[in-house]
Amino acid sequence: MEFVDLKSSEVHVEEVAIARLTEEQVFELSKESLRFKSWTSFRISLIMLVQGCNQAGYGIDWAVISGVNAYPAWHAYFGFGSSGVTYATINALMTIGTVCGAPFLSFADVIGRRGINFVGNFIVLLAALLQGFSINLPMFMAGRFFLGFGSALMSSPQYMAEVAPAHLRGQLVGIFGACFQIGSLGMNAALIGFSNIEGNWGWRIPLLLEGLFPAIVCCTIYFLTPESPRYMIMRGHEDKARKMIARYQTTEGDNPNHPLCDVMVMQIKDSLASENSRNREIWDFRPFGRKGARFRILVLILYSFFQQWNGGGIIGQYLVPALETVGITKPIEQLGINLGSTAVYFVFTLVGSVIIDKFYRRTLIFAGLISFILLQTIVTITSWQFSLHGTKVQAGLTVTWIFVFQVCSSTLIATMHNLYPVEILSLALRAKGMALYGLVQGAAGTANNYGISVGISKIGYKIWTVYIAYNCIQLVLSYFLFPETYGLSLEEIDTVFETPGVNPVKMSLDIQKAKKEKAKLEAERAAHGEL
């Protein structure tokens, strides 16, 4: 069988595919090496518990800052409205803190993935106390800033992608992402109860509870979770890396010479060698200058904007003023819709974690963007009709389509946010690349926060049209610039970006085509008794 020959670049996809396709066996070996009912699976569950607390804590903040916006007592204490510049600044300070903290995520290459995670959670814990006990607006805003700064140092997506067994990586990262909704869902439910508390403790208690999950992480991360094997090898501790892989990715749990250990260690070493990344200085950003790295960074930046600017922020943090545009103004109704929206998002994020390894990454991104465009168009129309007629039917339809938007977003896109950015980054770029990811996310989120808050106060429901236009642009850019990473190991993806003279998108699609043809040929041989 012959594969596509990229003559223009003097590189044969046939050679790349044959060399790399054998690495499909890594997934099969990973499956064979780990039995579901084993102590190793239990240890993986403990990792998920601790790292899930990172996401749950972030979910609590997402719920709190949106939920307390429906509390008259909170607005009365600090003296501002549910939208406008002040509320936008409060939201933006979280992302500004993320921007300032993101460059320090590269210290994960020095103190380890666990170390940087601990520091981030400890800062968030202190910030939660600062917010909850604020006596004036500047003190509250300082808490928001440090909350964002600490959140930027939580390297959980990167950690989960590096520690998870190869055949479970997509599902575990997806479930990890769903933990965000666990925190958000629990807090949204609690906010309805806290709304009945008279005085300022009704909004102070949920703000203080933002420190709950970070406190759990700080107390357990060094006892229940291992260090990343990739970090260990980067620091020259191959023996420790082998023991970690054996303990957390094989049923035996105590054989550092297990075949899976050999394969995983070799992949990591190959990635290091291909990147010529022998210099691990914390401020050494020279790896970003190479051509292959530049394309990765372009995709990373575009995806950062995509995550922030797809329109989900209106539902997540500005649902209260958005509901006010269609006449839903009672706090209990707003909190109830917020709770229902979060519950739907949580359930379908779990669905997304199941299907993520059954569909191509590009397919999910395209389907998500197309659904966003259609649903935001419908919401714009129903909101427009409400502005003309003011009936409950149009208001109800608007809320319905917001819920459907949550279904599409959680099923098709949410799980990707914790997986795709990590997949496109090589080992040498991963820590600094994720720092850049957080930096760009923070900058995009800051602009988005001001844009939504001021936009809703100025043009009301028409704010949706801005996101319709953006998602159309993002759809085109994604088609031409986002490579396919489905079914490839983290190190195998290096081939897509590092092959000289080849468009990474075309290379990724050609390799996927080669894989299909090889699988078809093997199936035909097996059917005829040749294997």
d(CA 497, CA 274): 11
What are φ and ψ of residue 283, in 5° steps? -105, 20
Nearest in space to 501 (alpha carbons), one of 3, 8, 5: 8
Q: What H or E segment, with its residue span, contains residue 11?
A: strand 11-12
d(CA 457, CA 451): 10
DSSP 8-state symbol, 409 = I
Rounded to an integer, what is the distance from CA 203 to the centroid of its chain? Answer: 28
Query: Distances in Å between the alpha carbon of 58 and those of 119, 152, 286, 443, 452?
Result: 15, 11, 32, 18, 21
Could you identify the residue written with the tokens 């509320």?
A: 87
Predicted pLDDT of residue 339: 84
Predicted pLDDT of residue 284: 57
pLDDT (tens digit per residue) in 129-156: 999 999 999 999 999 999 989 988 886 7
Amino acid at 118: F
d(CA 230, CA 40): 19
Nearest in space to 346 (alpha carbons), one of 118, 212, 187: 187
d(CA 126, CA 124): 5
Query: Distances in Å between the alpha carbon of 94 and those of 58, 301, 423, 441?
Result: 11, 19, 26, 11
d(CA 204, CA 208): 6
Residue 137 and residue 130 in contact, taking contact as beta carbons nearer than 8 Å: no
Predicted pLDDT of residue 15: 44
Extract the tokens encoding 466: 């801005």
Predicted pLDDT of residue 272: 66
Domains of the chain (ranges; CATH) run 29-516 (1.20.1250.20)
Pick out the chain residues at pLDDT < 70: 1-25, 82-84, 155, 174, 271-292, 316-317, 427-428, 431, 489-492, 529-531
Query: Distances in Å between the alpha carbon of 350 and those of 94, 308, 337, 451?
Result: 27, 21, 20, 31
How would you class 307 by CB atoms within 10 Å of its CB: exposed for 0-12, middle for 13-18, buried for 19 or more? buried
d(CA 360, CA 368): 12
